[in-house]
Amino acid sequence: MQGMLTPYGAFFIFSLGILGSNFIFNTIVMKKPFIGEPVSYSQYFKGNLSTHSVGILGGIIWGVGTVLSYIAAGKAGPAISYALGQGAPMIAALWGVFIWKEFKGASKPVNLLLTLMFILFIAGLAMIVVSGGN
């Protein structure tokens, strides 16, 4: 469509936003961490390569997923692309419940809530796909 960015152009703009906001959000979380002691930038840069590599790998995975989602939106439509992207938390939940047994020994009400969560999540994704973005 004329006047719209390509998926790659949109991802480039998205990446610039991440890079710019990273300095703000990293500084805040380093100064006021959720857990543990505050960290200075000198301590951050003293971190070893393997620790930083995990963060870099996470960013690469996020970036590849995002650009593929943008490409899919152009081919399959935004609603289906969004639904496919939002399927990832469902896969994570399935692995947590059935592979890693994170809720092993949970009470009946918890198991009922888990079942309801799976049903409603899948129903919500199905409704997004059926809507076709209307």
Q: What's the chain's length in residues?
A: 134
Higher pLDDT among residues 128 and 1, named by residue:
128
Instruction: Compute CA 104 distance to the chain's CA centroid, rounded to the nearest angstrom.
Output: 26
Please report the pLDDT score of residue 78 as a whole number. 81
Residue pair 79/133 in contact (Cβ under 8 Å)? The answer is: yes
Cα angle 42-19-35, degrees, rounded to a multiple of 5? 50
Q: Is the per-residue pLDDT at 124 higher than 60? A: yes
Q: What digits encode the pLDDT tens for the residues 45-72?
A: 999 999 999 999 999 999 998 998 889 8
Q: Is the per-residue pLDDT at 133 higher than 80? A: no
